Structure 1
Amino acid sequence: MDTPRIRTSVVTGANRGLGLELARRLLERGDHVIAACRAPGRATALNGLAGEHPGRLHVLPLDVADARSRAAFAAELPLVLGEAGGIDLLVNNAGVLHSGERFGRLGEANLEHSFRVNAAGPLLLAQALAPLLADGATVANLSSQLGSIAGCSRFGTPSYNISKAAQNMATALLAHALADRGIRVIALHPGWVQTEMGGEQATESVGESAAGLLDVIDGLGEGDSGRFLDWRGTALPW
C-alpha cells in the first residue's frame, strides 16, 4: 500500500503570535511546514520550534510587501519542497495595524504601507506561488471583521480596515482565478486575538483562534471558495 503523501503548509508572519501558533499546530498534525518571516535571525521562538522538528520545519525570509523578497521566496521554495510535491495550504497571515490614527491627521504613509502588506502582499504572493500550489489546495487569507463594509459602525483604524476590505476583494478574485484547479481561497477572521496586535483586552486566546481556524480550513467544501468566515465557521457580511 502506498504511503500517504505528507501535506505541505506555508505560513507567513510565522515568527510570533497567531502565525507561530498555526505553524506549531500544523507540525503537530504531521505537516511539512515552511514558515516565513521578515527576519529569521531574530525569530527565536520559531527557530526553537524548528529545532524540535528537524527536517519538517523550514524557516525562510519573506517580506510580503517587497517584490524582490516575494520573488526570492518563490524561487527558493522548490528547493525546499524537493520531492514533497506542491503546497497544500498557504496561510497569508502576515499583517500590520497602525495604531493611533485620527480623522483629520491621516497620512499617506500608513495607508500605503497597510495596503502593501495586508492586501497587495497576499494577492501577489498567491500569484507568485500559484505554480507551486497543488490542485485542490487551500489559500487562507487572514482577514478581519474590521474589513467588513456592511459591519462598519465607527471611524477607527482606517488604514487597517481599508486594507482588509481590499484583501477581501483579492480573496474573491483569487477564488475565481484558481477555481479551475479546484483550489479554495477564503477570507478568515481569527477573532479578537490576544497577540501583540490584538492587545491584552482581546477575547480569544491564540490557541483557541488557531485551533478554530484549522478546523474551519479542514472542513471546507468545494462550494466554500470565495467565502468570508470567522474562526468558528460563521459567515461574515462583506
Structure 2
Amino acid sequence: MSFRHALVTGANRGLGLEFVRQLLAAGSHVVATCRHPGRATALNTLAGEHPGRLHVLPLDVATPKSQDELARELPLVLGEDGRLDLLVNNAGVLHSGERFGRLGLANLEDSFRTNAAGPLLLVQALAPLLAGGARVANLSSELGSIGATSRFGTPSYNMSKAAQNMATALLAHALRERGIVVVALHPGWVRTDMGGEGASLAPAESAAGLLRAIAGLAPDDSGRFLDWRGRPLPW
C-alpha cells in the first residue's frame, strides 16, 4: 500500500531521517518531527528539495503540551481533508553505562516517559487525524522482549521498550474498530548514533525492510511484534 500522508518522529537523524528520505522517494507527503527543528540541518535541506511535500515541525514526544501543539498544527499542514495514513513512532532514548548496583530513578523515568508513555499519548492525541485503515508503527527493539532476555544490560531501555510493546497491544484494541493497524517493530541492529558503528545494518536497509513490512500488514496483524523483515518476535 502507498502512504499519502505520513508522520515520522525523531526524524532529524539516523533511522528516522532515512524513513523520511524513503517515504519522499515513494511520493508521500511527509511531516517530520524533532525536538529542535532549527538544528535539523539534513531535514531542512530535504525540505528545500521537496517543497510542499516535507514539513518539519517541533515535537518533544515526552511532553504532553508539545504533543497537543502538534495535534493543533497538523490540520494546517495536512489540509481540511488530510488524514495520516502512517504514523512512525521512532523517537526514543537509550541511556548507556547502566550497571546493577548503581541504577538510578532518573534514567528509568526518562526512558519510560520517552519510549513508552510518549508514543502511547501521541497516538491518543493524533487519533482524530488518523485515516481509517491507517498504520501505526511503534519502533521497538528485541531488547524489549521478555522471552528473549539473555543478559543484564541497558535496563531502563529494555524495560521501557517492553512497556511500549504493551502500549502497542492496547492501542491495537483501542483503534481496531477503525481498521487502524498498530504494530511493534524491531529495526535490527542499525548503524546509528544509538546502534553504534559496529552494527550490522545500514539505516537504508532497515528502513526499506520496515516499510515493506508495514505495507504488507493485514488487519489481523494489529498488535503483533515483528522484526524488520516482518518475522514475529517473542514477547
TM-score category (smaller protein): over 0.9
Aligned to 1:211: 208
The 5 Å alignment of 1:63-102 reads 63-102=60-99
Counterparts of 1:97 and 1:40, CA distance in 2: 21
Aligned residues: 234
Is 1:231 the counterpart of 2:225? The answer is no
Counterparts of 1:36 and 1:25, CA distance in 2: 16
Is 1:184 the counterpart of 2:204? The answer is no
Is 1:9 the counterpart of 2:6? The answer is yes
Aligned-pair CA distance for 1:67: 1.2
Aligned-pair CA distance for 1:84: 4.9
Aligned to 1:169: 166
The amino acid across from 2:83 in the alignment is: G
- Per-residue Cα deviation, 1:40-61 (whole angstroms, up to 9, x for no partner): 0000000001011000000000
Runs of 4+ with >3 A deviation = none
Aligned to 1:139: 136
- Per-residue Cα deviation, 1:121-172 (whole angstroms, up to 9, x for no partner): 0000000000000000000000000000000000000000000000000000
State the SS of the aligned residue for 1:165: helix
The amino acid across from 1:25 in the alignment is: Q
The 5 Å alignment of 1:46-65 reads 46-65=43-62
Aligned to 2:109: 112
Counterparts of 1:88 and 1:220, CA distance in 2: 13
Counterparts of 2:211 and 2:64, CA distance in 1: 29
Larger deviation: 132-141 or 84-93?
Answer: 84-93
State the SS of the aligned residue for 1:14: coil
Is 1:126 the counterpart of 2:123? The answer is yes
Question: Which segments of 5 or more consecutive residues in structure 2 lack a partner in the other structure?
Answer: none
Counterparts of 1:179 and 1:89, CA distance in 2: 15
State the SS of the aligned residue for 2:148: coil
The amino acid across from 1:118 in the alignment is: N
Counterparts of 2:95 and 2:190, CA distance in 1: 16
- Per-residue Cα deviation, 1:181-236 (whole angstroms, up to 9, x for no partner): 00000000000000000001111110110000000000001110000000001100
Aligned-pair CA distance for 1:83: 3.9
Aligned to 2:38: 41
TM-score (norm 1): 0.97
- Per-residue Cα deviation, 1:110-129 (whole angstroms, up to 9, x for no partner): 00000000000000000000
Indicate conservation of the 8 Å contact 1:194/1:203, yes or no.
yes
Indicate conservation of the 8 Å contact 1:143/1:187, yes or no.
yes
Is 1:19 the counterpart of 2:28? The answer is no
The amino acid across from 1:85 in the alignment is: G
When residues 6 and 126 of structure 1 are mapped into structure 2, their CA distance, relative to the original with a 3 A threshold, is: closer
The amino acid across from 2:133 in the alignment is: G
TM-score (norm 2): 0.98
Indicate conservation of the 8 Å contact 2:3/2:85, yes or no.
no
Question: Which segments of 5 or more consecutive residues in structure 1 lack a partner in the other structure?
Answer: none
